[in-house]
A and B are shown apart, each in its own frame.
Chain A
Amino acid sequence: MSAPLLRLESVTMAFGGLKAVADLDLEVRSGELVGLIGPNGAGKTTVFNVITGVYTPTAGRILLEGRPIQGLKPHAIARHGITRTFQNIRLFSTRCCRDNVCIASHQHTRASLLDTLLRSHRFETDEREMQARASELLDLLGLAPWEDTIASELPYGQQRRLEIARALAGKPKLLLLDEPAAGLNPQESDQLMHLIEDLGPRFGLTILLIEHDMRVVMGICRRIAVLDYGIKIAEGNPAEIRSNPHVIEAYLGEEIPADLGAGG
């Protein structure tokens, strides 16, 4: 049993008197595809924000490969190997797709500022590699035809994929996907589902996924953790989660997702 890639120990995130995340313990092992679900406002995105350093947790520790990372700035955490996508798309709207992806490779650049300004040989090689890799990733995500298109002009589904391509360019160990299927129709969701499933083994990635689309979650996640009002109320494989009374109760009052009780 290897040590977990990511471990949250008693993590609490309070805003004034409100505990968005309360005393959360979570482990993600290397190579896993873990889902994080819960009703709206359960604190899922807050968990992502705490992991990636947007917030510093009020209490608790976050360990990446055994090393504490809570309190580090987001760009430092990215350099340690955690990248993410956002619930509300945050693309670099004035840049083309390739540039969007290249920016994520920035942390791996070997060319210094001086190299850049003087256009040294190291800069040229670096730049070519970055652009080539970006094209590869865009191709993998089916975005090759839009390589030179300005990000804001992309159709919605493609924008979501671009966010994923961008996050991949950072060569992460852990990829956090925040509702990647939001707003997609069933066919697009299906395609995305298979794509995400493929990413882990192909890049040696670990993935933590927030999703509302139960078909996607139940379909590809081996393990699922359920949050409600900032507290983890259940954890287990899809079958266990589907039949867990606490989970069903948490979704009560909201329309119970049709897939929750169905097989899959």
Chain B
Amino acid sequence: MSEFLQQLVNGVTWGSVYALIALGYTMVYGILRLINFAHGDVYMLGAFFALFAARWLGAARDPNPALALAVLTLAMAGCGAVGFVIERFAYKPVRRSSRLAALITAIGVSLLLENGGILLFGADPKFFPQIVPPRNIALGGGVTISNQQILILVVSLGLMLGLRFIVLYTRVGKAMRAVSHNHTAAALMGISVDRIISFTFVLGSMLAAAAGVLVALQNPKIEPLMGIMPGLKAFVAAVLGGIGNIPGAVLGGLVMGIAEVMVVGYLSPTYRDAIAFVLLIVILLVRPAGILGKATAEKV
């Protein structure tokens, strides 16, 4: 029983990470009907920006919460900028083109980030500095949790609540929801569609960056291709919950995380990546709209 609870704790932690990344996918899809293939690579960039920020600030020499927070903030800001640039220079020009053109552009950006990363950072893994020294806390019943895991849970929850606040209770959020329904109508209401789209990308990229930093705390080996698998899994999570649906992304992320940890724990580690594909095929065949999604029909 205690093993199950331990797996659950690990699963929810990983699930929160997937949820953070999935939110970016779902927001962009909701607003542009585009699968942002490059999103997983923004997660990777988050980890690398944090690495450089940590080195620059010397956050590992004398670890303290303020420096760690600064590192996180800098990484999120950096990735927000990257998201903005990607949208403005790569996706905006193809907004009017066919869906396949947009998909291919997204694939191109993803490849660019990955291979650019290899060129700039080198393909070999780097060590992420310990800006938060690890400590294990016993929760009782044989279950332990590390302070990094607590951090993941707290920061994820905080960011998700923040996002929810923005989407539901601010004018920008309302504008985002309007644009995701209908660009033309939103524009006619006086909403600057371009700015809202940029904002969505920035938000999503910031969340992915946070995920990257949080994961780097726990798994300190980072390399330019580290975003591929988590990106894919987070995408599956978004589809699982209903792509375009924000609570769905969170739900999907948690399901994905728990399923993965359980499969690794109770079946075998070799199937770790396979479970994502299995979940994907199952949900697409059984309920393509996702758990919380609504199927939309085409008007004839």
Contacts and interface: CB of A to CB of B under 8 A. Distances in A.
A158 interface: no
A86 interface: yes
B293 to A, nearest CB: 16
A86 B299 CA distance: 11
Nearest to A54: B300
A49 B299 CA distance: 10
Q: Say whether chain B's binding surface is mostly helix, strand, loop, or mixed.
A: loop
Nearest to B299: A88
A45 interface: yes
A77 to B, nearest CB: 14
Contacts of A45: 300
B200 to A, nearest CB: 29
Interface in B96-134: none
B294 to A, nearest CB: 10
A87 to B, nearest CB: 9
A49 B300 CA distance: 8
A86 B300 CA distance: 8
A49 B297 CA distance: 13
Contacts of B300: 45, 49, 54, 86
A221 B300 CA distance: 25
Interface string A52-96: 001000000000000000000000000000000010000000000
B289 to A, nearest CB: 15
A17 to B, nearest CB: 14
Interface in B282-300: 300
Interface in B177-230: none
Contacts of A54: 300
A210 to B, nearest CB: 13
A54 B297 CA distance: 11
Contacts of A86: 300
A248 B189 CA distance: 35
A182 B161 CA distance: 50
A112 B300 CA distance: 31
Interface string B257-300: 00000000000000000000000000000000000000000001
B98 to A, nearest CB: 12
B184 to A, nearest CB: 16
A50 to B, nearest CB: 11
Nearest to A86: B300
Interface in B73-89: none
A41 to B, nearest CB: 12
A79 to B, nearest CB: 19
Interface in A15-46: 45
Interface string B136-162: 000000000000000000000000000
B68 to A, nearest CB: 50
A176 to B, nearest CB: 12
Nearest to A46: B300
Contacts of A49: 300
B285 to A, nearest CB: 20
A33 B300 CA distance: 23
Nearest to B298: A54
A45 B300 CA distance: 8
Interface in A82-117: 86
A61 B300 CA distance: 21
Interface string A116-153: 00000000000000000000000000000000000000
A15 to B, nearest CB: 8
A54 B298 CA distance: 10
A54 B300 CA distance: 8
Nearest to A74: B300
Nearest to B297: A15
Nearest to A55: B300
B276 to A, nearest CB: 33
In order of increasing CB-CB distance, the 4 nearest A-B pairs are: A54-B300, A49-B300, A86-B300, A45-B300
4 contacts: A45-B300, A49-B300, A54-B300, A86-B300
